[in-house]
Structure 1
Amino acid sequence: MSKETISKDSFISLFSKAVKGGEQNYTSGSLRRAIFMLAVPMILEMSMESVFAVVDIFFVSRLGNYATATVGLTESVITIVYSIAIGLSMAATAIVSRRIGEKNPEEASKSAMQVIMITLVVTCVISIAGAVFAKEILLLMGAEAEVAAKGTAYTRIVFASSIVITYLFVINGIFRGAGDASIAMRSLWIAN
């Protein structure tokens, strides 16, 4: 067998293993392999997130200009919530992976629960503020009065449900930190 065939086979088998998942020990062995095994599920996960947004806009665009404008304006603001969720997720990944690397799963579990509790507090504040000030948020983003009036209900629903999306990010970060990045990817596939 040539070197090319071997590298293709190993690439395919590594890709398959990354997608199938399972608990991995990334503290020993090749750093390139570890990065690849963690990156594949994350890339697929973010691809699904993009598809989710495109599908939303596609179906909403059939409802008319006001609906499309509302979704666009709300998505612009909810991106800030996603940024907070990604930050919490990265914190969860870092803390849990450190404890796992120290061979201390009990502390990893405690750390994960602390991040989950912090996430609850942060998202409750964001959800309540977003739901209460939905119309004002749309107007602040430059919506016309009619768009703000018709889109307030949608914006309230999106902000009220932001807790679900934030927890999806955070729990996926916890699983990544524990060494099983494919669970995060599969959970997003199911959500879509």
Structure 2
Amino acid sequence: MGRVEYLAMKTEEEMTGNLITADLNEFVAAAKKLVKDAAMLGGLGFGTSFLQWAASISAIYLLILDRTNWRTKMLTTLLVPYIFFTLPFVIFNFLRGDFGKWIALIAVTIRLFCPKHFPDWLEIPGALVLLLVVAPSLIAGTLRESWVGAVICLVIACYLFHEHIKASGGFKNSFTQKNGISNTIGIVALLVYPVWTIFFNIF
């Protein structure tokens, strides 16, 4: 009788041990999956943030190029809404605050009362700051953070790329002319961020 009880206890202990081992294996597998998913999301977040900065810098770079001797035939005023939608949150919130309001007030005052002292190259930056300050929350918050803003940026980037190629005299010339290469690289950088954002919003 004692031997039967001993065998029964041993079998129960083995079953309990197997169950605990199985549970631990499942827990380890779940932990690995959690770490992997978190790392992937962190990587995507970093990639999106990096591309957002690159797109904003490229747009500002193209504006500066257009205001110097390297003028282009592109409609560079379209870069203002592009910068509005791609400007990183830190700079966007800073310019949307009191600092941006003071800049907008000074720019509007000089433009109204001293138009001769208001340089032409400040027109577009002044319009950008004014847009940042007065944009309603629906556009500044909701649309900027959704796929709609990315679609608007993609349309602008595609149009600018088309106009640049046409003004350069073809796709090949846009990469071979002296100032064509820098403009082409800048516009390609404008295309990457909205494509990336739309892709990851859909999938």
With the shorter chain as reference, the TM-score category is 0.3 to 0.5
- Output the TM-score relative to the length of structure 2: 0.33
Larger-gyration structure (1/2): 2
- Output the TM-score relative to the length of structure 1: 0.35
Q: Which has the higher contact order (CA 8 A, sep 6+)?
A: 1
